[in-house]
Amino acid sequence: MNDLTQSAFAKPRVVGQRTPRIDGEYKLTGRAGYTGELLAEGMRYGYPVPATIANGVLESLELDDALAMPGVVDILHHGHFESLHRSPNSMAHGDMVSEVRLPFEDERIYYHGQYVALVVAETFEQARAAAQRVVARYREDDGAVVGLLHTDTQGELQESAGTSRGDPEAAFGGAEVKIDSTYQIAAESHLQMEMHATLAEWRDDGKRLVVHESTQGVFFQRNAMARIFGIAQENLEVISHYIGSGFGNKLFMWPHAVATAVAARMVGRPVKVVLPRQQDMTGGGNRPASRQRVRLGADRSGKLTSVIHDSTTETSWVHQYVDACGSATPSFYACDNVSTSQRVLEVNHGTPCPMRAPGEVSGIFALETAMDELAVELGMDPVELRQKNNAEQDPASGLPWSSKHLDECLTSAARRFGWDKRDPAIGSMRDGDEIIGYGMASCTWSAGRQPCEARVELRADGSLFAACGTQDIGTGTYTIVAQAVAELTGTDLSRIEVKLGETSLPAGPLSGGSMATATVLPAVAAAVRDALDAIKEVAVGSGGAFEGSDADSLSAEAGGLTDGKRRVSFAEILETSKLSSVNGKGSAAPGDERSEYSFRSFGAHFVEIRIDPEISRVRVARVVSTIDIGRAINPPTARNQVEGGIVMGLGMGLLEKLDYDPRDARLINANVADYILPTHADAPEIDVELLDYPDFKHNEFGGRGVGEIGLTGVAPAIANAIYHATGKRYRDLPITIEALLASS
């Protein structure tokens, strides 16, 4: 087992340093090649036809007009489609799909926007025009479930997603101070910049399927497609070189991908489908609405004696997706009596799926708002209340934390924010016509790690090549891989080429769960070491640059090997021995440390809001955050993740909401005009500090990952600030102008 505490990266030169993105130039010059932009020889375009009811049966399709439109090649539907196999749809099987049923499997309609046909034509415009000519007739059934927040139905209990310790009910019953509140959060859209897209092509007389997909997991998609199409994994390649972000909805494979691959086979040409924004929003994933009840019991000193967190979230009729709101709760605060429960309710929407800090971000809104309510009830400073209940070890597992600095996050952010200037009296802080509110919340996200493989090549032209079948979803994975290679070899970053996003490369993880950094870098390091061993053998061998030396006496320095007296570049070593390259392979996986320590990141957000009471306009003026993610491998891109999370949290707190028509469960605002997002004008002054405590128990690079934690805790800090300004406790998100008006 690796002794992770003895890291080679205690004093790194490249890792942890500000490093411009190595793929930045490709993106800026338009050469990056996102899936939707790719062209293939003889390619055709597909355009899905979405159902216009949410619950019922497709009775007939009239296709004659559409088929007669210019350029139309074929129209796929239930009566004209291949027979395929269902996917097991489980992480344990290495795949995840949004629907267990196959596209066009039967005529049952479960949600508005479900595909009833796919038009294939010579151009995108022709496909779209013909799709609009397809006439579908339905039998609409009563009883569409409009959404969790439109019903009092309980939902089905998910035993596996609940936990309990101590006797929380009894402790709550006997508590000196009690909070019992219910929180509701509207469904949200990921609204990632690049919509779902697939380009599928059958090669070698239909034996081999090559799929370009904008996905957060090329291997997961390959595994799912191999089963669905009944072809060997080696005959299926999934490629995703550049991704215009995902936020979780590109973890699942969606029906358009399977339909596109079938279309490509049926028309005998490559076919591309790029979902239009409306379809991306209706059938390409969402954060499900949630209803949560939190009960907190405490003694008069503020010590928590009971935490009971009961959640219900939406799922669809075609997938059992559990957005586990309570999953951070058992580890959040030191308390002997804690329980969580989780229910799901089937609703007539497209399948919900993970969205940035899935479950926990909703759960932390409820928990951290309840903590603020408790602080008010106790007449205690909310920062002090959190410090008083700080968990010195993980109360869920009883294990020590690998590294936890929440207390420093709280004190540092409070100091930079100027929390000491806060007058806790409601509405007491004013600036002209505006009322100022201060609010805060803690935040957290788990630090996971997966097995991973990587490959490295040292080449005679002096370049280095590193490859791993993970993806860069825009977060900067290409760059940190290059940094790791540069660190271990002393090679200049400009000579390092990184390849990601192909299933032909060594198996890499999902870009999800904030796990990619901690997962991929150790495997890359292992591959670099293997390549260095190989080139040392070459160098000391017959005719080599260090012929006769002991391989162990050589070490890597500045893109070459040195014996302490002279340095010879990798290129020269390879030239001398007439070799074009040497290769290294490596793999890495979490080990015994996972049973010895608990791994989780923590942080704190402080928010200033300003309200103009005359017009009920609320504005987030400032956010000051301190987050502990271990070591930031590339500080600017890491900070950028937190800043993006803060803006997303502002949307969650004040603006974002998928609206479903109460009459027929249709998603009303499936477009970027009516789904309200924060704009630049809404963005506050943001001050993010990342602490620098490398977590070498987690991995030798000391980084815990940063994609998700920045979003958690933002919405409750905003709601708590609004309470401070107005004395009104808003427990439903988003806190819209209408809600502020209604209670003012």
Catalytic residues: 708
Q: Report, in Å, the least distance between residue 362 CB and ligand MOS.
A: 12
Residue 567 burial (C-beta neighbours within 10 Å; 0-12, 13-18, 19+): middle
505-524 mask for ligand MOS (x: CB under 6 A)?
A: -------xx-----------
d(CA 537, CA 543): 11
197-216 mask for ligand MOS (x: CB under 6 A)?
A: -------------------x
Q: Which tokens sit at 281?
A: 């929003």
Q: Closer CB to ligand MOS, residue 248 or residue 653?
A: 248
Choose the stretch contacting ligand MOS; rule: CB under 6 A; options: 314-322, 353-361, 488-496, 557-565: 353-361
- # residues contacting ligand MOS (CB under 6 A): 11
Q: Report, in Å, the least distance between residue 138 CB and ligand MOS.
A: 33
* Touching ligand MOS, residues 474-493 (CB under 6 A): none
Q: Report, in Å, the least distance between residue 255 CB and ligand MOS.
A: 20
Q: Report, in Å, the least distance between residue 287 CB and ligand MOS.
A: 9
Choose the stretch contacting ligand MOS; rule: CB under 6 A; options: 15-23, 244-252, 263-271, 552-560: 244-252
Strands (E), 408-536: 429-431, 434-446, 452-459, 464-468, 496-500
In degrees and rounded to multiples of 5, residue 419 shows phi and psi of -60, -30
Paired strand residues for 561: 556, 568
d(CA 357, CA 286): 13
Residue nearest to ligand MOS (CB): 248
Paired strand residues for 686: 623
Q: Closer CB to ligand MOS, residue 15 or residue 473?
A: 473
Q: Closer CB to ligand MOS, residue 168 or residue 512?
A: 512
In Å, the largest CA–CA distance within the chain is: 85
246 binds ligand MOS (CB under 6 A): yes
Q: Closer CB to ligand MOS, residue 246 or residue 651?
A: 246
247-266 mask for ligand MOS (x: CB under 6 A)?
A: xx--x---------------
Q: Closer CB to ligand MOS, residue 339 or residue 450?
A: 450
Instruction: Determine which helix (DSSP H) or strand (DSSP E) holds 342, and give its type and residue range.
Output: strand 338-346
The crossing angle, in degrees rounded to 10, of helices 477-489 and 516-540 is: 30
356 binds ligand MOS (CB under 6 A): yes
* Touching ligand MOS, residues 211-240 (CB under 6 A): 216
Strand pairing report for 271-274 and 44-50: parallel
d(CA 651, CA 560): 50
Q: Report, in Å, the least distance between residue 733 CB and ligand MOS.
A: 18
In degrees and rounded to multiples of 5, residue 284 shows phi and psi of -120, 20
Choose the stretch contacting ligand MOS; rule: CB under 6 A; options: 75-83, 101-109, 243-251, 360-368: 243-251
Q: Closer CB to ligand MOS, residue 130 or residue 711?
A: 711
d(CA 555, CA 512): 35
Q: Report, in Å, the least distance between residue 4 CB and ligand MOS.
A: 24
Which string of DSSP letters, residue by residue, matches 254-283? PHHHHHHHHHHHHHTS-EEEE--HHHHHHH
Q: Report, in Å, the least distance between residue 593 CB and ligand MOS.
A: 22
Q: Closer CB to ligand MOS, residue 155 or residue 246?
A: 246
Strand pairing report for 338-346 and 304-315: parallel
469 binds ligand MOS (CB under 6 A): no
| 709: Cβ contacts below 8 Å, ≥ 6 apart | 357, 443, 444, 445, 514, 601, 602, 603, 627, 629, 642, 645
CB 375 within 8 A of CB 438: no
Which of 330, 354, 509, 586 touches ligand MOS (CB under 6 A)? Answer: 354
Residue ranges in contact with ligand MOS by CB under 6 A: 216, 246-248, 251, 354-356, 358, 512-513
